[in-house]
Amino acid sequence: MPGLEDLYREIILDHYRNPRNEGTFPTPPAIKAEGHNPLCGDELTVFLILDGDVIKDIHITGQGCSISRSSASLMSVAVKGKSLKEVDHLLKIFKSMMSISTNASGEPEAVEPIEYSERELGELIALQGVVKFPVRIKCATLSWNTLVQALEDRAS
Amino acid sequence: MERMNTPTTATPLNVTEIRKDFPIFTHQNGKALYFLDSAASSQKPLSVLQAMDNYYSTTHANVHRGVYQIAEHATELYEGARVKIGRFIGAPNPARETIFTKNATESINLLSTCLTRGRLKKGDVVVLTEMEHHANLVPWLIAKEQFGIELRYIKVDSEGYLALDNIDEILSGAKVLSVTLASNVLGTLPPVAHLAELAHKHGAIVIGDGAQFVPHMVTDVTDLGLDFLAFTGHKMLGPTGIGVLWGKSELLEALPPFMGGGDMITDVTLDGFTPNELPWKFEAGTPPIAEAIGLGAAVDYLQDLGMQNIREHEIKLLSYAFERLESNFGKNIVIHGPRNIQDRGGVISFDFRDIHPHDISQILDQSGVCVRAGHHCAKPLMRHLGIAATARASFHIYNEPADVDALVDALGKAQAFFG
Ligand SMILES: Cc1ncc(COP(=O)(O)O)c(C=O)c1O
């Protein structure tokens, strides 16, 4: 069985205890989307301030477990100031890190359908251990899915 | 049959012996398994597994059809299980009134569907409580949306009891009261017999959701004053895929059928059909035969132990758990629901510091302690409590003080970990 340290890295606990970019923004000018994880009742709202195709600022509120809260905080740091294209790339590599398949002995293992370097992930790499706890993957991806939702809502 | 609630002095359960009957406890490769999630689904004794295996290995055939020996024997076993299960809940006419379904959820959907098809009128009032499981909530919300019934709710007070001060007002003019016999979140045991009496005075029929009650307590539908009772096999040592709806004969007879198909008719023409007699009128298609037989074996197992003894056992575990949790963690733990142990079933939902239940259950899992974390399919209740999720430990016959000790130790680790 994977150990707790695989899941609860120091960085994760730090972002959980001291979430970055916490709060709301008035809409407009901000756009927002709400995300739910029906399994555990986690909820969060992502607020984005866009400047052209750059995420100028981001705030997140909500409630949830340490993984969903810290992932949201880590994401906010990772995407702030980035262009939508860069964000899209980050999203892809993050999702790729979070996706699992099972190996021959039936154990979950990470698949890496796209090439990326750990450096690109930055602090997000701290969430790597989550794939060893498949039920928690949804917690880690909730904020990212909500971010995508906000951007899609804007587009439509 | 001897009434089940006669013993006044309880015989303590021999948990060491009981655990030997449950293969899951010996199949952990030496790892400890502190299973505290029976409210979600209980473990199964060997006798239940064997009953189903024997049936498949020796006498499987479809029921109510073949005129050959193994088919007749299969029918006997299936119908025998029905009678046994009906007696277990004190059904006056177990052979006719005990209907097999897939689970408690289907039993309640059967009722909401057939009642709106056959008994209720648009605008009729159905009374529920704020502490219902989604299984006794969403079927009625569908009926509201599709058919136009009206819903009223009995509120939950700050201690986790039903608020009954304006109960006559709520029940006034109501046609149905559908209420849980034991809350899967708070553990609350509503005063169902009293509520049923009031509801009947107001002319309403009374449905009990026994999913968390029947597995743990002496159940007598007449003493409880029920017209219908829904419960589910997998929470009472039986297999998944089998549930029960009990109903008073005259009420069941007056309802239209639920699903249509084989077995639920006596005659069919191209223009119409004549429904079958009770209980088959409500059992369309090939039923879960092995599962019914398995549930019958589960009822045997429970009855051998004695439901009163089981209840006493759980009360002892609850008391021990309250005492240990509160003496170890004091204000850091908040246990939801009634303080009086006698007023609650064997579930303990709690908040622990400000650690999210998901994180708690993850850390507990590292020590082999299985608890449930989440909204427990009772979102309106959770909203009322002002929380998104709780952790929940729940008991059954195979639990012992060592399970509670493991829970307390593991919570200590969570506390140290999250600081
Ligand atoms: C109070 C209550 N009612 C109904 C149900 C539904 O049982 P099932 O899922 O077996 O239909 C549950 C199960 O969690 C329950 O706790």
SS3 per-residue string spanning chain B? CCCCCCCCCCCCCCHHHHHHCCHHHHCCCCCCCEECECCCCCCCCHHHHHHHHHHHHHCCCCCCCCCCHHHHHHHHHHHHHHHHHHHHCCCCCHHHHEEEECCHHHHHHHHHHHHHHHCCCCCCEEEEECCCCHHHCHHHHHHHHHHCCEEEEECECCCCCECCCCHHHHHCCEEEEEEECCCCCCCECCCHHHHHHHHHHCCCEEEEECCCCCCCCCCCHHHHCCCEEEEEHHHCCCCCCCEEEEECHHHHHHCCCCCCCCCCEEEECCCCEEECCCCHHHCCCCCCHHHHHHHHHHHHHHHHHCHHHHHHHHHHHHHHHHHHHHHHHHHHEEECCCCCHHHECCEEEEEECCECHHHHHHHHHHCCEECEEECCCCHHHHHHHCCCCEEEEECCCCCCHHHHHHHHHHHHHHHHHHC
| All domains in chain A, ordered by first residue | 4-155 (3.90.1010.10)
Model confidence at B4: pLDDT above 50: no
Model confidence at B409: pLDDT above 70: yes
At B33, is the pLDDT very low, low, confident or very high (cuts 50, 70, 90)?
A: very high
At B234, is the pLDDT very low, low, confident or very high (cuts 50, 70, 90)?
A: very high
Higher-pLDDT residue of A96, B2: A96
Dist. CA A146–CA A130, nearest whole Å: 19
At B326, is the pLDDT very low, low, confident or very high (cuts 50, 70, 90)?
A: very high
Which residues make Cβ contacts (< 8 Å) with residue B381, sequence separation at least 6? B130, B131, B132, B156, B183, B185, B186
At B349, is the pLDDT very low, low, confident or very high (cuts 50, 70, 90)?
A: very high
At residue B371, the pLDDT reads: 97
Work out the average pLDDT over B174-179.
98
- Tell me the pairing of strands B205-209 and B174-180: parallel
Work out the average pLDDT over B90-98.
98
Q: Which residue has the tokens 């502190």?
A: B34
- Determine contact, residues B351/B337, Cβ cutoff 8 Å: no
**Ligand 1, CB within 6 Å, residue ranges:** B 103-105, 133, 135-136, 180, 184, 209, 211-212, 232, 234, 243, 377
Q: What is the dihedral of CA A118, A121, A123, A128, to 10 degrees?
A: -70
Residue to substitute in B110, B133, B245 for testing ligand 1 pocket (most ligand atoms within 8 angstroms of CB):
B133
Expressed in angstroms and rounded, the spacing between residue B133 Cα and the centre of ligand 1 is 7
At residue A108, the pLDDT reads: 53
Model confidence at B367: pLDDT above 80: yes
Higher-pLDDT residue of B302, A27: B302
Within 10 Å of residue B54's Cβ, how many Cβ atoms?
Answer: 15
Architecture of domain B15-31+306-417: Alpha-Beta Complex (3.90)
Count interface pairs A-B at CB distance under 8 A.
47
Q: What is the pTM of this model?
A: 0.90
Model confidence at B5: pLDDT above 50: no
Expressed in angstroms and rounded, the spacing between residue B378 Cα and the centre of ligand 1 is 10
Of chain B, the percentage scoring pLDDT greater than 90 comes to 89
Work out the average pLDDT over B368-389.
89
At residue B2, the pLDDT reads: 38
CB contact under 8 A, A41 and B388: yes
A5 in B contact zone (CB under 8 Å):
no
At residue B299, the pLDDT reads: 98
Specify the 3-state DSSP secondary structure of A57. strand
φ and ψ at B296, to 5 degrees? Answer: -60, -45
Lowest average pLDDT, out of A91-95, B81-85, B244-248, B259-263, goes to A91-95
* Mean pLDDT over the full length of chain B: 95
Q: Of B71, B164, B341, B377, which one is the catalytic site residue? A: B377
Model confidence at A110: pLDDT above 90: no
Model confidence at B170: pLDDT above 70: yes
Model confidence at B7: pLDDT above 60: no
Measured at the alpha carbon of residue B381, what is the angle toward residues A23 and B186, in degrees to the nearest 5? 120
**What are A116's two structure tokens?**
């990326």
CB contact under 8 A, B389 and A40: yes
Ramachandran category for residue B315: left, alpha or beta (phi over 0 → left; psi -120 to 50 → alpha) = alpha
At residue B360, the pLDDT reads: 94
At residue B9, the pLDDT reads: 72
Higher-pLDDT residue of B285, B417: B285
A73 in B contact zone (CB under 8 Å):
no
* Mean pLDDT over the full length of chain A: 86
Lowest average pLDDT, out of A49-53, B6-10, B109-113, B301-305, goes to B6-10
Of chain B, the percentage scoring pLDDT greater than 70 comes to 98
A138 in B contact zone (CB under 8 Å):
no
Model confidence at A133: pLDDT above 60: yes
**What are A22's two structure tokens?**
């916490």
Residue type, A131: V
A8 in B contact zone (CB under 8 Å):
yes
Who among A8, A69, A136 is closest to B417 (CB)?
A: A8
Expressed in angstroms and rounded, the spacing between residue B217 Cα and the centre of ligand 1 is 16
Ligand 1 atom 14 nearest Cα: B40
CB contact under 8 A, A4 and B379: no
- CB contacts of A64 in chain B (<8 Å) are 356, 358, 388
Dist. CA B367–CA A97, nearest whole Å: 27
- Determine contact, residues B159/B188, Cβ cutoff 8 Å: no
Cis peptide before B275 (omega within 30 of 0): no
- CB contacts of B389 in chain A (<8 Å) are 40-42
Who among A63, A64, A133 is closest to B362 (CB)?
A: A133
- Determine contact, residues B374/B356, Cβ cutoff 8 Å: no
At B30, is the pLDDT very low, low, confident or very high (cuts 50, 70, 90)?
A: confident
Q: In a 10 Å sphere around its CB, with 0-12 CB exposed, 13-18 middle and 19+ buried, how is residue A89 labelled? A: middle
At residue B79, the pLDDT reads: 97
Dist. CA B20–CA B81, nearest whole Å: 25
At B1, is the pLDDT very low, low, confident or very high (cuts 50, 70, 90)?
A: very low
At residue B29, the pLDDT reads: 81
CB contact under 8 A, A133 and B375: no
B69 in A contact zone (CB under 8 Å):
no
- The pLDDT tens digits of the residues spanning B43-62 come to 999 999 999 999 999 999 99
Distance, CA of B63 to chain centre: 26
Selected from 3.40.120.10, 3.40.640.10, 3.60.70.12, 1.20.1560.10, the CATH number assigned to the domain covering B48-304 reads 3.40.640.10
- Per-domain boundaries in chain B: 15-31+306-417, 48-304
Integer angstrom CA distances of residue B201 from A1, B172, B194: 58, 9, 11
Expressed in angstroms and rounded, the spacing between residue B233 Cα and the centre of ligand 1 is 10
- The pLDDT tens digits of the residues spanning A56-93 come to 999 999 988 999 999 999 999 999 999 999 999 999 88
